[in-house]
Chain A
Amino acid sequence: MKLITAVVKPHRLDEIKEALQAFGVHGLTVTEASGYGRQRGHTEVYRGAEYTVDLVPKVRVEVLVEDDDADDLIEVVVKAARTGKIGDGKVWSVPVETAVRVRTGERGPDAL
């Protein structure tokens, strides 16, 4: 199994969810996150005092998949998340040793 993690622009979340559903993914986890990449942050002005806000809002989408599906799913997420502008985010995958469905105790791919 693999864990696909995508840290992307918050307003792309709906497209990503729809694309994942169309792909056949049954579940995912979404977390509000903040961070920066090469685009860094932006500047805000309050009564003339300028603040550099370098952590910008992002969402982190996490999906567990079987090994064979991982590359296709990454493509699906990347396509759905892309706006072509700076700050679109990152998607990566890592191997997962085990997964358990809490209700039934099923393990491995059966738990997905």
Chain B
Amino acid sequence: MNGANTAFVLISAALVMLMTPGLAFFYGGMVRVKSALNMLMMSFIALGIVSLLWVLFGYSLTFGDDIGGGLLGNLDHIGFQGIHPDTLWGAKPDAIPVFAFAFFQLMFAVITPALISGAVADRVKFGAWTLFITVWVSVVYFPVAHWVWQADGWLFKKEVIDFAGGTAVHINAGAAGLACALVLGKRIGFKKDPMRPHNLPLVMLGSGLLWFGWFGFNAGSALAANGTAANMAFNTQIATGVAMLGWLAYERVRHGAFTTLGAASGAVAGLVAITPSGAAVNAWGAIIIGLVAGVVCSWAVSLKYKLGFDDSLDVVGVHLVGGILGTLLVGLLATDGVGGLNQLGKQALGAFTVLAYSFAVSWILAKAIDVTIGFRASEDEEVGGLDQAYHAETAYDFSAVGSSHVARRTVATIQDQVGAGAPQNKKVDA
């Protein structure tokens, strides 16, 4: 076992864990105030659900021995059976404990379904969402991660370069977001009512946490504290910074202002694009990837208005488009004689098979949930805000006067009154 590598991967896993709350803030600040908590919870809940699934069967389906054809792992490690603290992952002198590897990879499985939530903001039943991500990680994420990262996975064998998740995480989540947005339809008032972000400082905080955690996501994917990790960390910073500049420059020319939301979004677009590519390019490649991602994603987020689908927080424009850009550009820009049309073809195969599989399965899954238990919140719940409908809470208490009505009552007395036939009151945040 390699102690330095193990320490690095454990720390990287903790960094990646922080990205999910970071994403929650990034998305949460962008929605209207009435559904802010719901948006936070749609990401945060993945930390619970996916952790449990990972132990039950997720790790085994993703990184268990291949069942044949490079499509899925077997069930040998269900419940982590056969894995002990001294069981190793990787070849000897670099090997790390399987627990360190599994802990690290779990965080990727957590954030990927959370990414989808931005496409369906403000209009999803919370219970249906938990069902969706439970089934989605099981039938989409675990298989796709197996294709790309397990040594017998079919895309891994085709030599598709996806260092840290351009296909398995970003194209995967982006395509699923598009499918869900199409099944669910537009928010009430889309293109008509103002849907401004309610808290841009929260968006900025979220993008900062994402940027910070992404060093673990990208560099940690080397699974070793070595030059590859260092190159990846360095390129992550370069591409992200340049992407922010690219987004802002496009915005300034097109819309006349350098917006905060543009800076935060540009940074995330750069992070997405450098994810598959950063370990295979040099700093100049990182600059090109960052610039292209910033400018193109800035343009791509306007497509939803032209095409008429409500990808509310631009999961398609940022993650799908950014993921495809990074995955394709590395085919051309990869150093050491790897880059070229041949590699570009392999990259395109990886990008578009993941896109097609994720879109198709996600669409069927979303539709199945919609026609059985219902995926979309009722009109009343959506208009009134999902925070009160599903969480019995309000994000901000701005008014000392407004809340005094319930402030002196305890939860117990409210329940007594409900029991005595008083009007049902879900507000319990006394």
Contacts and interface: CB of A to CB of B under 8 A. Distances in A.
Nearest to A53: B194
B261 A46 contact: yes
B87 interface: no
Contacts of B261: 46-47
A67 B104 CA distance: 76
Interface string A38-67: 000000111111110100000000000000
A45 B258 CA distance: 10
Interface residues of B, number: 17
Nearest to B313: A47
A48 B254 CA distance: 8
B194 A47 contact: no
B97 to A, nearest CB: 43
Q: Taking chain A's interface residues, is the majority helix, strand, or loop, or is none over half, making it mixed?
A: strand
Interface string B248-266: 0001001111010110010
Interface in B288-309: 298, 301-302, 305
A22 B295 CA distance: 57
Contact of A51 (B196, B254, B262, B314): B196
Q: What size tier do the contact residues of chain A reach? A: under 10
B197 interface: yes
A47 B196 contact: no
A15 B264 CA distance: 38
A13 B302 CA distance: 40
Nearest to B317: A47
A51 B198 CA distance: 13
A47 B262 contact: yes
Nearest to A54: B194
B200 to A, nearest CB: 9
A63 to B, nearest CB: 22
Contacts of A49: 302, 305
Interface in A6-52: 44-51
Nearest to A52: B194
A35 to B, nearest CB: 16
Contact of A45 (B255, B305, B314): B255
Nearest to A45: B255
A49 B254 CA distance: 11
17 contacts: A45-B251, A45-B255, A45-B257, A45-B259, A46-B261, A47-B259, A47-B261, A47-B265, A47-B302, A48-B251, A48-B254, A48-B255, A48-B298, A49-B302, A49-B305, A50-B255, A51-B196
Interface of A: 44-51, 53
Interface of B: 194, 196-197, 251, 254-257, 259, 261-262, 265, 298, 301-302, 305, 314
Ranked 4 nearest A-B pairs via Cβ: A48-B302, A45-B255, A47-B301, A51-B194
